[in-house]
């Protein structure tokens, strides 16, 4: 257990949800970008959570409206239950439990690479560390999903799960929650964030509630192929399986230049890729770093030509998830 | 290359298509039941294919109407192409190429465990052996799919693929064909064949052409979980993933006692199971053989009580697929 007032530093990675064919079930963490946070347990004076933003995004600091805050509220409630159940590891009286969290958001909110998930996940992993790791990773995913609810109105885990577990994760079931870590070979990731706004709620509302059975069959063939490809380390199979016949044809309309970009990135040697989460960021996977860099050039070329401000990242899959370091 | 008139013996296993959640993409071969066949290349007199049934099912012997015949026709056409392309391994002039096939069907036609697939797959694997293994397994699956077309009107590969490859197979894509062999841990299989008729065409026609997106997401979560469970050798994950929210609720209506049987088999310790292909056979998977035997007792008890004639099998996943032995 950590001493009161002792700060820890937290590094919370960006994540890519859906992984093309795995809508609402697959996701992976990347090494860059990431948020940094600092966190400590303090003497409780009034509120149990104090959020301090040290970036310029002016996100809400009211814990109930802040994604990290909402996630921590869920964790504190669960801690209280453990105290009441007499868990010998839960030794702090809840009326004495309070956290201070400084958030330095380096993952731009609304970019589609799990900015809200990084805050929620970072906060609960940090709090768990300060409380002597009382909770499992599955527990932490459940708490952090309350942050996603604040951010997008929906309790989804496809960014939270890879952010906490690292690597590639499968959310086999959301109620009850079941997260499965999938082994993967080294994969280089190129991300472009074209600076348009795509609200997650809009990206959800344009989806059709029904899909054709024949398309669903193609999709689950690809999902099975992708899982098998990752576990076998078969890059060609991964590439062939990275096709989405259900969500991408609808959502890609919201992203300028998407079809052209996809052709260019695949021509440059990418295995495949698509929309990161609900967008607007787009990601492509490559076997080699040199390919990932060539893919970045194609992304820059296209968005420079059509005059859309953009950021790019060349990175790789992050196997660790949220990391803690002592201050 | 085999001498003309030299007989080979062929053993072609029964197969279970769909594997609960993997409609149209997953399947596996079992060690029992299986068909036996004998086959030789003969001097061509008139027809290129002679089918001899040595069982009592009176299946058609006209090659175009016989599933093994239709598969062999496709193989002979492909062989002719290879002759024309000058493939040095294709040395027999097609007007001299003829096969005689004796089929001893031990897998009851219409039982839903790949009876037609065993004939088609057995015939093309046998012919390929007699021709010096000119064709790949993928080629053979394509040829044998013509047999499935004769049997059910649809070129599907979910029985053919495991019959030829053995083990558990994923048909990631049907056009173009891509079959992926999936590793699996030891799995014991209990099958019951309640002797009612379910036509594959009827079982297809009652399916809805549209599915709810939320159900499709559950289904592909389970498919991803099943593939991961098989590859990790995680029996519990396999069990949790063996749920079908799309096809089974519709098709199970055609099978008397299905829901009750499922509860009884799971209570007896089965990991999970469901309809084999389009039915009427039902299969359950178990980690231990003793459990598979207990499951068989439940099956017998139920169908004896409701007075439905039935066969049962306690077997295991067959890793080899179609096997050839010299006579």
DSSP assignment of B46-71:
S-SEEEEE-SSS----STTTSHHHHH
C-alpha distances in angstroms, B326 versus B9, B38, B309? 6, 10, 37
Q: What is the DSSP letter of A186?
A: -
More confident residue, A325 or A81: A81
Are residues B203 and B149 located together in one domain of the fold? no
Across the interface, do B228 and A182 touch by the CB < 8 Å criterion? yes
Contacts of B181 in chain A (CB under 8 A): none
Are residues B134 and B254 located together in one domain of the fold? no
pLDDT(A327) > 70: no
Closest CA to B174 of A255, A225, A78: A225
Residue B191's pLDDT is what?
98
**pLDDT band at residue A95 under the 50/70/90 scheme:** confident
- For tokens 């052996």, what's the residue? B129
Closest partner residue to A209 among B26, B212, B237, by Cβ?
B212
Are residues A144 and A21 located together in one domain of the fold? yes
Task: Specify whether the CB–CB gap between B152 and B67 falls below 8 A.
Answer: no
Tens-place pLDDT, residues B160-210: 999 999 999 999 999 899 999 999 999 999 999 999 988 777 888 899 999
Closest CA to A23 of A258, A203, A234, A191: A203
Which SS3 state, helix, strand or coil, does residue A71 take? Answer: helix
Element holding B280 (H helix, E strand): none
Contacts of A180 in chain B (CB under 8 A): 225, 228, 237
pLDDT(A2) > 80: no
Are residues A284 and A201 located together in one domain of the fold? yes
Are residues B207 and B120 located together in one domain of the fold? no
Return d(Cα B160, Cα B54) in angstroms, integer.
Answer: 22
Return d(Cα B44, Cα B40) in angstroms, integer.
Answer: 12
Task: Specify whether the CB–CB gap between B169 and B178 falls below 8 A.
Answer: no
Total count of residues recorded for chain A: 327
Return d(Cα B93, Cα A132) in angstroms, integer.
Answer: 78
Are residues A17 and A143 located together in one domain of the fold? yes
To the query of whether residue B61 is one of the catalytic residues in this protein, the response is no
Residue B202's pLDDT is what?
80
Residues spanned by the domain of A87: 8-182+318-326
Residue A3's pLDDT is what?
85
Percent of chain A whose pLDDT exceeds 90: 89
Tens-place pLDDT, residues A113-135: 999 999 999 999 999 999 999 99
ipTM here: 0.95
> How close does chain B come to A45, measured CA to CA in Å?
45
Task: Specify whether the CB–CB gap between B103 and B56 falls below 8 A.
Answer: no
Q: How far, in whole angstroms, is CA A113 from its chain's centroid?
A: 6
Residue A132's pLDDT is what?
93
Are residues B205 and B299 located together in one domain of the fold? yes
Catalytic residue among A200, A291, A312, A315: A200
Across the interface, do A25 and B208 touch by the CB < 8 Å criterion? no
Report if residue A87 sits inside a domain: yes
Element holding A201 (H helix, E strand): helix A200-205
**Which chain A residue has its CA at the smallest distance from B219's CA?**
A220
pLDDT(B1) > 70: no
Catalytic residue among A15, A148, A169, A315: A148
**pLDDT band at residue A105 under the 50/70/90 scheme:** very high
Tens-place pLDDT, residues B224-263: 999 999 999 999 999 999 999 999 999 999 999 999 999 9
- For tokens 């098989």, what's the residue? B230
> How close does chain A come to B219, measured CA to CA in Å?
8
pTM of the predicted model, to two decimals? 0.96
Are residues A247 and A109 located together in one domain of the fold? no
SS3 letters across B246-267: CCHHHHHHHCCCHHHHHHHHHH
Tens-place pLDDT, residues A267-326: 999 999 999 999 999 999 999 999 999 999 999 999 999 999 999 999 999 999 999 987
Report if residue B3 sits inside a domain: no
Closest partner residue to A227 among B212, B218, B228, by Cβ?
B228
Q: Provide residues of B within 8 Å CB-CB of chain A.
A: 22-26, 170-173, 178, 180, 182, 207-214, 216-225, 227-228, 231-232, 237, 240-241, 246
Report if residue B2 sits inside a domain: no
Report if residue B151 sits inside a domain: yes
- When divided into structural domains, chain A yields a total of 2
Closest partner residue to B180 among A182, A210, A225, by Cβ?
A225
Q: Which of A140-154, A159-173, A199-213 is predicted least confidently?
A: A199-213
Q: Once rounded to an integer, what is the mean pLDDT over residues A46-67?
A: 93
To the query of whether residue A200 is one of the catalytic residues in this protein, the response is yes
Residue B199's pLDDT is what?
77
Task: Specify whether the CB–CB gap between B133 and B125 falls below 8 A.
Answer: no
CATH number for the domain that contains residue B273: 3.30.70.890
CATH number for the domain that contains residue B97: 3.30.230.10
Residue B115 sits at φ, ψ, to 5 deg, of -65, -45
Rounded (10°) CA dihedral A256, A262, A268, A272? 140
**Which chain A residue has its CA at the smallest distance from B175's CA?**
A218
Return d(Cα B101, Cα B40) in angstroms, integer.
Answer: 7
Contacts of B210 in chain A (CB under 8 A): 210-213
Tens-place pLDDT, residues A177-219: 999 999 999 999 999 999 998 877 788 889 999 999 999 999 9
Report if residue B136 sits inside a domain: yes
Catalytic residue among B15, B169, B200, B291: B200
Tens-place pLDDT, residues B80-95: 999 999 999 999 988 8
Q: Which of A194-203, A223-232, B18-27 is predicted least confidently?
A: A194-203
Task: Specify whether the CB–CB gap between B135 and B123 falls below 8 A.
Answer: no
Report if residue A2 sits inside a domain: no
Report if residue A156 sits inside a domain: yes
Across the interface, do B220 and A225 touch by the CB < 8 Å criterion? no
Across the interface, do A221 and B170 touch by the CB < 8 Å criterion? yes
Are residues A156 and A225 located together in one domain of the fold? no
Across the interface, do A170 and B221 touch by the CB < 8 Å criterion? yes
Tens-place pLDDT, residues A238-277: 999 999 999 999 999 999 999 999 999 999 999 999 999 9
Are residues B151 and B32 located together in one domain of the fold? yes
Beta-ladder partners of A73: none
Closest partner residue to A216 among B178, B211, B232, by Cβ?
B211
Report if residue A1 sits inside a domain: no
Contacts of B222 in chain A (CB under 8 A): 172
Q: Once rounded to an integer, what is the mean pLDDT over residues B106-111?
A: 94
pLDDT(B327) > 60: no
**pLDDT band at residue B2 under the 50/70/90 scheme:** confident
Residue A1's pLDDT is what?
58
If you average pLDDT over every residue of chain A, what do you get? 95
Residue A193's pLDDT is what?
97
Closest CA to B117 of B163, B173, B74, B70: B163
Are residues B84 and B198 located together in one domain of the fold? no
Across the interface, do B178 and A240 touch by the CB < 8 Å criterion? yes
Are residues A37 and A160 located together in one domain of the fold? yes
Residue B325's pLDDT is what?
86
The sign of the CA dihedral A205, A206, A209, A214 is negative
């Amino acid at each position: 257990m950590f001493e009161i007032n002792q700060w820890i530093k937290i590094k919370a990675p960006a994540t890519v949800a859906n992984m093309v064919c795995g809508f609402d079930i697959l996701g992976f963490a990347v090494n860059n970008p990431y948020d940094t946070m600092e966190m400590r347990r303090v003497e409780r004076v009034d509120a149990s959570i104090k959020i301090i933003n040290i970036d310029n995004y002016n996100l809400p600091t009211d814990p109930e409206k802040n994604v990290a805050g909402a996630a921590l509220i869920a964790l504190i409630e669960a801690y209280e239950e453990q105290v009441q159940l007499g868990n010998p590891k839960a030794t702090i009286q809840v009326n004495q439990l309070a956290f201070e969290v400084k958030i330095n958001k380096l993952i731009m909110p609304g970019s589609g690479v799990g900015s809200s998930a990084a805050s929620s996940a970072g906060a609960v992993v940090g709090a768990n560390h300060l409380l002597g790791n009382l909770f499992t990773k599955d527990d932490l995913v459940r708490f952090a999903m309350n942050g996603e609810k604040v951010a997008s109105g929906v309790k989804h885990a496809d960014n939270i799960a890879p952010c906490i577990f690292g690597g590639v994760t499968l959310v086999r079931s959301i109620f009850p929650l079941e997260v499965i870590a999938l082994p993967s070979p080294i994969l280089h990731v190129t991300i472009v964030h074209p600076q348009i706004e795509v609200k997650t709620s809009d990206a959800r509302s344009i989806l059709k509630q029904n899909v054709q059975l024949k398309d669903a069959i193609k999709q689950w063939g690809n999902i099975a192929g992708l899982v098998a490809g990752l576990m076998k380390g078969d890059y060609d199979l991964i590439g062939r399986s990275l096709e989405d016949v259900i969500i991408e044809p609808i959502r890609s309309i919201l992203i300028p230049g998407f079809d052209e970009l996809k052709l260019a990135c695949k021509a440059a040697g990418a295995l495949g890729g698509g929309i990161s989460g609900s967008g607007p960021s787009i990601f492509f996977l490559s076997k080699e770093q040199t390919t990932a860099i060539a893919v970045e050039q194609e992304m820059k070329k296209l968005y420079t030509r059509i005059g859309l401000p953009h950021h790019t990242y060349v990175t790789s899959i992050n196997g660790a998830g949220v990391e803690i370091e002592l201050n």
